[in-house]
């Protein structure tokens, strides 16, 4: 009766308005009659044509404010459906500006703005708008299509963020409301979304079941966009079950249906799936170039479609697919460029799963090319990203288990309420009995829920207590270990010459010493005998505690060679040091081959004559502005298969000439834009170019260059560089 009155009112308007305006008013008023909730946007979109779009556009300029708001919302929803996001955002923002008091229209505006940002992979903005919609709804706590659609949107957001616990919570809440309202459009959508969720969880039977339900509802509506989504889900399942030709068939149908309704994002998804399927066909026994060409074509098509609507998440997979095909075609340069582009896109939207998978791709790429440094660089980032993601996934799995009971309980309660209402309507005389029965059932469910919750809390508390005890023990152990290592540092520092001793020896130099850990395998050594100064920079095997133990042993052997045995020739000192170290290790039953690399020189402070010997580490010096190098003996101080005597090199230098002693830590540090080693040539250039500065400035420049190169990467080894000015 009310409906007839509203139709009559609309027809009455026809008699008093001009013909053109009549047409607009009829269309709009009839849409108002039947549009009671957000899901009717989709009913409206199914029947849209160019005339109705023109009519809505005219209403945005000539209609009353309330009708302008509705028209802008309709147009925003329409342009979202064909992936024209700039126009969609424009109309939705116009609705938002005009709307001061209508909460129903505000919810629609907020939800569709969030939907568009979800398409654009801007999940933070999407969540903000969808949570605003939920907050607006909760003012009056209604259970209606607005709430169901908002839950569906929130489920979408958390699905793409990888939080499947929250995804399932919101999807099932949405399903319960749509079932209660018997909303066909809503049920078509939510069953398609649940299919996606179960597919992601690898429960293909449940995924197929939800697709079937969605298609059954869709028979009476012919909602093309959702039909395409159903076909796409079937294609994905066919891929997983090995039916590749069937998958190609369904993905082609997906692309066709999305093209019919103008959904650009949908066409891009179908294209990426066709690209993946053709690539899988190639890998599983159809190695024809035409198959690869088809795959490349669809990847490129997907990338271009996503780029046209600035969908960065979709662009990742387009570029990634192009990289894989370039690799198979042997175009490694193009493949590498595309992998880097895909990684950059992933980082820009914090797509965690894609980031760690692309680190693995780049690791494998460089491993295949034999580039160990870059391969190791990306492998390290892959492991870090993967561990972080796995930790997050474990947390999500726990949350999913904890929320499952609450979801089931809520659905059970809602179904019970629906059944009770039906029985009350048909059998009023039994109302009291059914109410009592319903209350008892609800109480039983609540009691059961409380008991189970208490049990879970006790279990969690028990586990937390155990974890706290373990953490306390680990904290104590860590403190004891750290205290021991700190004391070891004190002992190691005791073997290093102090700044005071350097001053007593009247040696004009700088020392850049940067251990990787609290204690180090690198050390420097200084002793004076008559007019001779002996100075060395050494690198013992390893770093941290093992390296520090080696440094104490090797420093002691140097002291004995010079002070106890009175040897003054650097080559002979290294020979004797090797003998002492081998004798020490020979007492062990194990075959210990650890030792040290060293650069050792003696300076006659009166004549400026230099005697130098080196084990694996060279000597660089600047004489009369010319950089020179003395190469070391290619053997370490320690147990070797064919030990040879160390060579002593004699050179005569002048006042203000410079010498540089160093270990390999500086040159081996990873960093820079590509994560590569610093290497020796740039180090030599750095030392040479800065040699005219004061010694303190040279040390500061070395430090700044090292830190800038390293960036956010970890220090890989101990670093020691000494520069001496005569």
- Whole-number average pLDDT of the chain: 82
DSSP 430: G
Predicted pLDDT of residue 22: 36
pLDDT of residue 482: 65
Across 13-22, 95-104, 355-364, 658-667, the highest mean pLDDT is recorded for 658-667
The dihedral built from the CA positions of residue 634, 635, 640 and 646, taken in this order, carries a sign that is positive
Q: Is the pLDDT of residue 520 over 70?
A: yes
Beta-sheet strand order (sheet of 619-623): 509-514, 719-725, 658-662, 619-623, 626-630
Helix (H) or strand (E) holding 51: helix 50-62
The answer to whether 627 touches 620, Cβ cutoff 8 Å, is: yes
pLDDT at 679 over 90: yes
Q: Which CATH class is domain 497-725?
A: alpha beta
| Radius of gyration over every alpha carbon of the chain, rounded to an integer in angstroms | 37
Contact 56, 71 (CB under 8 A): yes
Rounded average pLDDT over 133-153: 86
Residue 187's contacts (CB-CB under 8 Å, 6 or more residues apart) are: 175, 178, 179, 213, 214, 217
Helix axes 264-283, 312-328, angle to 10 degrees: 20
pLDDT in tens, 121-130: 788 899 999 9
119 within 8 A of 311, measured Cβ to Cβ? yes
- Is the distance from CB of 534 to CB of 526 less than 8 angstroms? yes
Place of tokens 């909602």: 223
Residue 129: the pLDDT is 93
Report the share of the chain in percent with pLDDT over 90: 40
DSSP 510: E
Q: What is the pLDDT of residue 439?
A: 66
**How would you write 280-340 as a 3-class SS string?**
HHHHCCCCCHHHHHHHHHHHHHHHHHHHHCCCHHHHHHHHHHHHHHHHHCCCHHHHHHHHH
Mean pLDDT of 550-569: 89
CA 400 – CA 404 distance, rounded (Å): 6
Whether pLDDT at 412 is above 90: no
Over range 140-165, report the average pLDDT: 87
For the ranges 159-168, 306-315, 431-440, 713-722, the lowest mean pLDDT is seen at: 431-440
Domain 35-162, classified CATH 1.20.58, yes or no: no
The pair of structure tokens assigned to 542 is 């390893």
Q: Kindly give, in sequence order, each residue whose CB lies less than 8 Å from that of residue 73, ignoring residues fewer than 6 positions away.
A: 41, 91, 92, 95, 105, 108, 109, 112
What is the sign, positive or negative, of the torsion defined by CA atoms of 287, 353, 400, 233? negative
Q: What would the mean pLDDT of 240-251 be, rounded to a whole number?
A: 91
Q: Is the pLDDT of residue 478 over 90?
A: no
Spatial neighbors of 671 by CB under 8 A, at least 6 apart, are 678, 708, 709, 710, 711, 713
pLDDT digits (tens, 9 = 90+) for 617-660: 999 999 888 899 999 999 999 888 889 999 999 999 989 999 99
Which residue has tokens 């040699």?
691
Quick one: pLDDT band at residue 221, thresholds 50, 70, 90? confident
**Chain CA centroid to CA 711, Å:** 19
CA 248, 252, 254: angle at the middle one, nearest 5? Answer: 115
Distances (CA, A) of 598 to 58, 364, 605: 85, 36, 22
Instruction: Return d(Cα 721, Cα 667) in angstroms, integer.
Output: 11
Q: Confidence class of residue 10 from pLDDT cuts 50, 70 and 90?
A: very low
Distance of alpha carbon 457 from alpha carbon 710, whole angstroms? 46
DSSP letters of 383-424?
HHHHHHHHHHHHHHHHHHHHHHHHHHHHHHHHHHHHHHHHHH
Please report the sign of the dihedral spanned by the C-alpha atoms of residue 332, residue 338, residue 340, residue 346. Answer: negative
> What pLDDT is stored for residue 681 in this prediction?
93
Element (H, E) at 622: strand 619-623
| Average pLDDT score over residue span 497-511 | 90
Rounded to whole angstroms, the Cα distance separating 252 from 228 reads 10
Q: Report the pLDDT averaged over residues 202-219.
A: 93
Q: State residue 160's pLDDT score.
A: 87
Q: How confident is the model at residue 418 (pLDDT cuts 50, 70, 90)?
A: low
What pLDDT, on the 0 to 100 scale, is given for residue 500? Answer: 87
Tell me how far apart the terminal alpha carbons of the chain are, to the nearest angstrom: 108
Q: What is the pLDDT of residue 149?
A: 92
| Distance from C-alpha of 598 to C-alpha of 609, rounded to nearest angstrom | 20
Phi, psi of 189 (to 5 degrees): -70, -50
pLDDT digits (tens, 9 = 90+) for 460-475: 776 776 677 677 667 7
Q: How confident is the model at residue 77 (pLDDT cuts 50, 70, 90)?
A: confident
pLDDT exceeds cutoff 70 at 455: yes
Nearest residue to 512 (alpha-carbon basis) of 677, 630, 669: 669
Kindly state the average pLDDT of the residues 44-53.
Answer: 69
pLDDT at residue 137 tops 60: yes
> Lowest-pLDDT range, 251-265, 365-379, 606-620, 704-718?
365-379
Q: For 380-409, how does the pLDDT look when each residue is reduced to its tens digit (9 = 90+)?
A: 888 877 777 666 554 455 444 444 444 454
Checking if the pLDDT of 200 tops 80, the result is yes
Give the mean model confidence (pLDDT) for residues 267-289: 89
Of the candidates 38, 50, 122, 119, the residue with the CA atom closest to the CA atom of residue 85: 119
**How far does CA 515 lie from the centroid of its chain?**
31
Identical topology for domains 35-162 and 497-725: no
The model scores a pTM over 0.85: no
| pLDDT bracket for residue 45 (50, 70, 90) | low
Tell me what the mean pLDDT of segment 597-619 comes to: 94
CA distance linking residue 452 with residue 378, whole number of Å: 46
Q: Residue 566: what pLDDT? A: 92
pLDDT for 21 beyond 60? no
Give the confidence band of 476 by pLDDT, cuts at 50, 70, 90: low
Distance of CA 400 to the CA centre of its chain: 21
Domain positions in the chain are 35-162, 497-725
Nearest to 313 by CA among 141, 175, 160: 160
């Amino acid at each position: 009766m009310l409906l007839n009155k509203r139709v009559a009112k609309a027809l009455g308007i026809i008699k008093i308005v001009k013909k053109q305006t009549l047409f607009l008013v009829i269309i709009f008023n009839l849409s108002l009659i039947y549009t009671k909730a957000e899901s009717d946007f989709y009913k409206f979109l199914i029947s849209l044509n160019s005339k109705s779009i023109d009519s809505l556009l005219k209403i945005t300029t000539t209609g009353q404010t309330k009708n302008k708001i509705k028209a802008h919302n309709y147009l925003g929803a329409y342009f979202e459906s064909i992936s024209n996001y700039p126009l969609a955002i424009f109309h939705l923002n116009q609705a938002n500006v005009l709307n001061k008091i209508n909460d129903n229209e505000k919810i629609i505006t907020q939800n569709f703005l969030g939907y568009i940002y979800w398409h654009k992979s801007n999940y933070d903005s999407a969540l903000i708008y969808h949570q605003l919609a939920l907050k607006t709804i909760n003012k009056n706590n209604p259970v209606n299509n607005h709430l169901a659609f908002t839950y569906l949107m929130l489920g979408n957001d958390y699905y793409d963020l990888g939080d499947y616990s929250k995804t399932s919570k919101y999807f099932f809440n949405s399903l319960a409301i749509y079932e209660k309202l018997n909303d066909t459009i809503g049920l078509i959508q939510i069953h398609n979304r649940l299919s996606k969720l179960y597919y992601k969880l690898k429960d293909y039977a449940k995924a197929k079941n939800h697709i079937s339900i969605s298609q059954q509802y869709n028979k009476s509506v012919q909602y093309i966009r959702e039909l395409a989504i159903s076909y796409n889900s079937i294609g994905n399942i066919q891929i997983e079950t090995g039916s590749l030709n069937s998958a190609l068939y369904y993905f082609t149908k997906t692309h066709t249906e999305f093209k019919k309704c103008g959904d650009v994002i949908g066409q891009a998804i179908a294209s990426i799936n066709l690209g993946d399927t053709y690539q899988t066909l190639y890998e599983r026994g159809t190695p024809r170039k035409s198959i690869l060409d088809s795959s490349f074509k669809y990847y490129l098509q997907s990338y271009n479609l996503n780029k046209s609507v600035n969908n960065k998440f979709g662009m990742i997979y387009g570029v990634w697919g192009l990289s894989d095909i370039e690799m198979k075609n042997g175009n490694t340069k193009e493949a590498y460029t595309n992998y880097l582009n895909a990684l950059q896109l992933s980082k820009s939207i914090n797509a965690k799963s894609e980031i760690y998978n692309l680190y693995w791709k780049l690791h494998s790429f460089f491993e295949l090319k034999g580039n160990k440094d870059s391969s190791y660089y990306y492998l390290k980032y892959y492991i870090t990203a993967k561990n972080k993601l796995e930790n997050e996934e474990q947390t999500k799995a726990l949350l999913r288990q904890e929320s499952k009971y609450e979801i089931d309980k809520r659905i059970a309660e809602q179904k019970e309420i629906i059944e009770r209402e039906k029985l009350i309507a048909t059998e009023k005389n039994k109302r009291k009995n059914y109410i009592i029965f319903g209350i008892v059932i609800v109480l039983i469910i609540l009691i059961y829920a409380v008991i189970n919750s208490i049990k879970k809390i006790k279990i969690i508390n028990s586990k937390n207590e155990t974890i706290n005890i373990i953490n306390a023990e680990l904290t104590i152990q860590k403190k004891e270990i750290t205290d021991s290592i700190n004391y070891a540092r004190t002992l190691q520092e005791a073997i290093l010459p102090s700044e005071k001793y350097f001053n007593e020896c009247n040696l004009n130099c700088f020392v850049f010493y940067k251990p990787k850990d609290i204690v180090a395998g690198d050390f420097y050594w200084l002793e004076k005998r008559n007019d001779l100064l002996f100075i060395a920079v050494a690198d013992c095997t390893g770093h941290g505690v093992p390296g520090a133990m080696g440094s104490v042993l090797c420093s002691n052997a140097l002291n004995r060679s010079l002070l106890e045995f009175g040897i003054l020739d650097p080559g002979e000192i290294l020979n004797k040091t090797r003998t002492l170290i081998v004798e020490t290790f020979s007492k062990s039953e194990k075959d210990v081959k650890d030792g040290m690399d060293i650069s050792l020189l003696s300076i006659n402070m009166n004549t400026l004559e230099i005697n130098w010997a080196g084990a694996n580490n060279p000597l660089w010096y600047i004489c009369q502005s010319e950089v020179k190098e003395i190469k070391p003996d290619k053997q370490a101080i320690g147990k070797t298969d064919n030990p040879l005597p160390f060579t002593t090199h004699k050179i005569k230098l002048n006042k203000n000439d410079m010498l540089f002693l160093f270990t390999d830590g500086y040159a081996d540090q990873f960093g820079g834009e590509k994560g590569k080693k610093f290497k020796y040539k740039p180090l030599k250039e750095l030392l040479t170019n800065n040699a005219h500065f004061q010694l303190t400035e040279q040390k500061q420049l070395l430090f700044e260059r090292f830190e800038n190169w390293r960036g956010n990467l970890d220090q890989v080894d101990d670093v020691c560089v000494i520069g001496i000015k005569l």
